[in-house]
């Protein structure tokens, strides 16, 4: 197999889509993969800094936040924006859970990825510093 050129990589249509049934909403929706930048931005949004500079996890409306980045219309355009997150978060937990799970699968988020992103924030070290 030949090595790809720069242009071949940049021109590759690599964002897969998938239609999934959401019976609570009365039909199907189309989701798409995140770009690398979108995934990095989403993962970064899961951490907020407290006033004291320590990290705190931010999982508020996480399913709706991820859904707004991946639900597209037939033209391939995002259907929702940041202003829609709260309203989308008020939809059925079962429906959002189904969408969230499908997005995680399509984007190859592993259970370990999700756990790693959600855990460990806001913990303080238990050992004293060695730089005293």
Q: What is the CATH number of the domain that holds 44?
A: 3.30.2220.20
Structural domain contains residue 127: no
The answer on pLDDT for 125 being more than 80 is no
pLDDT band at 112 (very low <50, low <70, confident <90, very high): confident
Structural domain contains residue 51: yes
For residue 10, what are the CA distances in angstroms to 32, 72, 77?
18, 22, 20
Q: pTM score, two decimals? A: 0.81
Is residue 87 within 8 Å of 22, Cβ to Cβ? no
Average pLDDT over residues 57-78: 96
Place of tokens 């997005």: 103
Distance CA 72, CA 34 (A): 11
Structural domain boundaries enclosing 80: 16-118
Distance CA 28, CA 73 (A): 11
Highest mean pLDDT among 48-57, 68-77, 102-111: 68-77
Structural domain contains residue 83: yes
Domain count, the chain: 1
């Amino acid at each position: 197999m030949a090595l790809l050129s720069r242009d071949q990589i940049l021109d590759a249509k690599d964002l897969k889509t998938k239609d999934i049934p959401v019976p609570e909403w009365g039909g199907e929706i189309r989701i798409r993969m995140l770009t690398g930048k979108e995934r990095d931005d989403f993962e970064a949004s899961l951490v907020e800094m407290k006033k004291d500079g320590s990290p705190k996890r931010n999982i508020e409306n996480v399913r709706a936040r991820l859904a707004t980045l991946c639900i597209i219309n037939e033209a391939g355009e995002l259907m929702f924006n940041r202003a829609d997150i709260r309203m989308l978060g008020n939809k059925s937990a079962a429906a959002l859970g189904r969408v969230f799970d499908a997005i995680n699968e399509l984007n190859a988020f592993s259970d370990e990825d999700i756990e790693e992103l959600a855990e460990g924030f806001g913990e303080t070290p238990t050992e004293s510093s060695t730089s005293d």
